[in-house]
Amino acid sequence: MQATEIRKLAELEDRHWWYRERRSLLARQLRRLGPPSTALDIGAAGGGNTRVLRDHGWSAVAVDYSPEAVELALGRGLDARWADARELPIESASMSLVVAFDVLEHIEEDHLVAEEIVRVLRPGGTALIAVPCDMALWSAHDDAVGHVRRYTRASLIDVAEKAGLTVDKVWSWNVLLRPVAARRRRTSEGSDLDHVPAPLNLALSAIIAAERYLPVKNAPGISLIMRATRKD
């Protein structure tokens, strides 16, 4: 992701409906896990998800390929390090949890990232992975933020299982707003990362939060979420 997009993300993520609900999603997943331990946040950008980990008691390390992102995260008091996700500077079997939200789609060799996730996880450790889905939604937004692909359920599961992860669950996210996103992206000329007026931000927050309570997780969405485990 370009430095300008990193800075824009950091400015938006505290209040933007999309990032707020994704942090809520992460928090709900953390409550499913055992006592907090060590966690790695890959592609942490400004550290929004890393702060969720920290606030839930996890000893969290943020890594990102962008020096600007690492600087931002350090400025927020986080343990942040520069890293290539294909070759993480993290000791093997040292993490109980790895979070990789919107990482795999940026890297041609996504299988190497998945293998690194497995390497740094302890046996029994959990990986939480989020990716954009469905090449039918490809648009100028994907080009602007440096995507190289969007995933299907099958392709995401394939990458994870070949790396050695046991997939516990895969579900769709941002389902209700998919028709709106599809229309917008047909005419988009760049990144969707932008300021949203407060009333619209509130309305979009309510819509996406409604998915927590509706049976839509198997319907087509904008993103896929995976929970997987290193068994051995």
Reported as a pLDDT band with limits 50, 70 and 90, residue 46 is confident
Q: What is the mean predicted confidence (pLDDT) over 62-76?
A: 93
Among 15-24, 122-131, 188-197, 222-231, which stretch is predicted with the lowest mean pLDDT?
188-197
Checking if the pLDDT of 136 tops 80, the result is: yes
Checking if the pLDDT of 23 tops 70, the result is: yes
The torsion defined by the Cα of 30, 34, 40 and 43, in degrees rounded to 10, comes to -20
Checking if the pLDDT of 32 tops 90, the result is: yes
Reported as a pLDDT band with limits 50, 70 and 90, residue 21 is very high
Checking if the pLDDT of 190 tops 70, the result is: no
76-108 as b/e: b if 16+ CB within 10 A: bebebbebebbebebeeeebbbbbbbbbbbbbe
Checking if the pLDDT of 178 tops 70, the result is: yes
pTM above 0.75, yes or no: yes
Domain span at residue 193?
A: 3-229
Question: Which domain CATH number covers 206?
Answer: 3.40.50.150
pLDDT at 205: 96
* Mean of pLDDT over the chain: 93
pLDDT at 11: 74
pLDDT at 203: 97
Task: Among 145-149, 166-170, 198-202, name the most confident range.
Answer: 166-170
Q: Which residue has the tokens 């520069």?
A: 82
pLDDT tens digit sequence for 202-211: 999 999 999 9
CA 161 to centroid of chain Cα atoms: 18
Instruction: Name the token pair of 12.
Output: 């938006």
Reported as a pLDDT band with limits 50, 70 and 90, residue 1 is low
- Long-range CB pairs of 203-211 (<8 Å, 24+ gap) are 204/17, 204/18, 204/177, 205/17, 205/20, 205/21, 207/176, 207/177, 208/17, 208/18, 208/21, 208/174, 208/176, 208/177, 209/21, 209/24, 210/176, 211/173, 211/174, 211/175, 211/176
Sheet holding 59-64, edge to edge: 79-82, 59-64, 38-42, 95-101, 121-132, 223-229, 166-173
Contact (Cβ atoms closer than 8 angstroms) between residue 50 and residue 41: yes
The count of domains in the chain is: 1
pLDDT at 4: 64
pLDDT at 2: 57
Top-confidence residue, 188 or 88: 88
pLDDT at 3: 59
Reported as a pLDDT band with limits 50, 70 and 90, residue 126 is very high
pLDDT at 185: 79
Q: What is the mean predicted confidence (pLDDT) over 52-60?
A: 98
